[in-house]
């Protein structure tokens, strides 16, 4: 958890496909860790949970936009 996640949408959009997947995997790991800490009453900042869920939603949205852009580009006749 030493690596800081990218939070700005513009920074996320600059990532490659592989980096985007790595970022999403790291976000899911952090969310799992936070949920575990919350369950054991070790989490001190409860506001981080919704922030992390929003971050995952941002990552998923950008990934889906890229998928749709590829599909639209492949579907057009040349």
The residue count of the chain comes to 78
Identify the residue with better confidence: 2 or 28.
Answer: 28
Please tell me whether residue 36 adopts helix, strand or coil conformation. helix
Token duo for residue 29: 């790991």
Count of helices and strands (H, E) across the chain? 3, 0
pLDDT, position 8: 85
- pLDDT tens, position by position, 5-57: 667 888 999 999 999 999 999 999 999 999 999 999 999 999 999 999 999 99
Question: Which residues have CB under 8 Å from 52's CB, separation 6+?
Answer: 27, 30, 31, 34
CA torsion angle for 6, 18, 34, 60 (degrees, to 10)?
80
Q: pTM for the complete prediction?
A: 0.82
- pLDDT tens, position by position, 50-67: 999 999 999 999 999 999
């Amino acid at each position: 958890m030493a690596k800081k996640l990218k939070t700005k949408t513009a920074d996320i959009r600059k990532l490659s496909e592989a980096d985007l997947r790595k970022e999403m995997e790291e976000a899911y790991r952090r969310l799992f860790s936070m949920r575990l800490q919350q369950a054991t009453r070790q989490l001190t900042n409860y506001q981080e949970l919704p922030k992390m869920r929003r971050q995952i939603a941002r990552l998923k949205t950008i990934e889906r936009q890229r998928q749709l852009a590829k599909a639209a580009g492949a579907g057009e006749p040349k």
